[in-house]
Amino acid sequence: MRHILQASTDPVDILNLGLLIKQLAFAFGLAMVVGNAYAIYKHRMDEKPKGEEGEFRPGRAYWLLGVGVLIALWGGLSLLA
C-alpha cells in the first residue's frame, strides 16, 4: 500500500545541493571581486587598514580580482542555465 505522505529522505533532494553549490560559487566569486576591488580602491586613496603592517601587492590583488570575476561568472551563468 502506498503512503499518502511520503517524505523524500535523500539529502540531495532535501537540500537541493546542485543549486546550493551554484549559489556558493556565485557568492564566493562576488566576495572576491568586492574585497579585492575595495583593497585596490583604498590603496589608490593612500589609506591603510588601522593597525596593519605590510605592503600592498597590486599583482596579487588584480590576480585575485580576475579569478573572482571568473568564478562569479561561472556561478552566475550556472544559475541561469
35 occurs within a structural domain = yes
Instruction: Indicate whether 73 belongs to any domain.
Output: yes
Q: Is the pLDDT of residue 1 over 90?
A: no
- Residue 77 pLDDT level (bands cut at 50, 70, 90): very high
What pLDDT digit, counting tens, does each position of 22-31 carry?
999 999 999 9
Q: What is the pTM of this model?
A: 0.78
Q: Is residue 72 part of a domain?
A: yes
Q: What is the pLDDT of residue 2?
A: 58
The count of other CB atoms within 10 Å of the CB of residue 57 is 12
> Which residue in 3, 78, 75, 80 sits closest to 32, CA to CA?
75
Q: Is residue 6 a part of any domain in this protein?
A: no
Provide the pLDDT confidence category of residue 10 given band limits of 50, 70 and 90: confident
Please name which of 9, 33, 29, 38 lies closest in space to residue 74, comparing C-alpha atoms: 29
Percent of residues, the chain, with pLDDT higher than 90: 60
Q: How many domains does the chain have?
A: 1
The domain in which residue 31 lies consists of: 17-47+56-80
Q: Evaluate whether residue 4 is within a structural domain.
A: no
